[in-house]
Amino acid sequence: MNKTFLVSGFLFLVVGSCAAQDARQIVTEAQNRSRSKSQQYEGTLEVVGSSNKVSLKRWIYQRIGSFGASKAILRFTAPPEVKGVALLIVNHPDRASDQWMWTPAIERDRRIALQDRSTRFFATDFSFEDLEERDVNQYDYKLAGEDTVDGAACWKIESKPKESKSSQYTSSLVSVRKDNYVIVQIENYNKDKLIRRVHYSDIQQVDGIWTARSTEVYDPGRQSRTVLKLEKLQYNVPLKEDDFTLEALRRG
């Protein structure tokens, strides 16, 4: 959901006066440092329910294009009951993404309606919205203090969507490391209620880009969490635009 997730999109999902401009500059710099022409990885997802029951899933993720105007496809490869299920995400710099999901068992694709973006994506703790990219210009920002995450000094930034109906979250608190501008935590709220916490760890430099190799998404309402680990991660690999269409989604 490299956000950056997926999770490219997912990682930067939530990210006027002098202080507000400083906050915007920080988020913009974080976005700029994660830019790539393309990205691909194999993801392992460990989903832990409230009863501590664990299920494992795997997907392949590919993305092409500039941040906020990119296209991505993720496709489950395991377990057998979800193998082949796929999601096409077409991101836009000025509005929410377009999304279509392909279900091979019924040989059907369906468009994900905007009002359904808050629902869980195939029994993980990612929502459909968490898997998209959002350009910095779709949010207002202000500095909310400082923080320490996993021993690293961070700026804490509050972000609010300019179009309130375009997001399930009314605000988010984003922690950005001061040393390398990597987003290491996002707390997503609906008014005063914490809806989802995303924690990024195992920060490594891959192809010159600082990247979180592990992402934990915690849903306090369900008392469940999903840990996504990135394997075989590559940036700026040769990918084709034709592989990011509805026809390609159906081909598998």
- Which residue's structure tokens are 């494992």? 56
Which amino acid is present at 115? Q
Going by pLDDT thresholds of 50, 70 and 90, the confidence category of residue 21 is low
- Span 112-135, mean pLDDT? 93
pLDDT at residue number 87:
98
Backbone Cα Rg of the chain? 17
How many C-beta atoms surround the C-beta of residue 108 within 10 A? 10
pLDDT tens track for 171-184: 999 999 999 999 99
- Span 214-240, mean pLDDT? 97
pLDDT tens track for 45-71: 999 998 889 999 999 999 999 888 899
Could you give the domains of the chain?
5-138+202-251 (2.50.20.10)
Distances (CA, A) of 20 to 143, 166, 177: 7, 22, 18
Going by pLDDT thresholds of 50, 70 and 90, the confidence category of residue 135 is confident
Distances (CA, A) of 236 to 91, 118, 121, 207, 225: 18, 31, 27, 8, 30
Using DSSP, state whether 68 is helix, strand or coil.
coil
Q: In whole angstroms, give the CA distance from residue 188 to residue 195.
A: 6
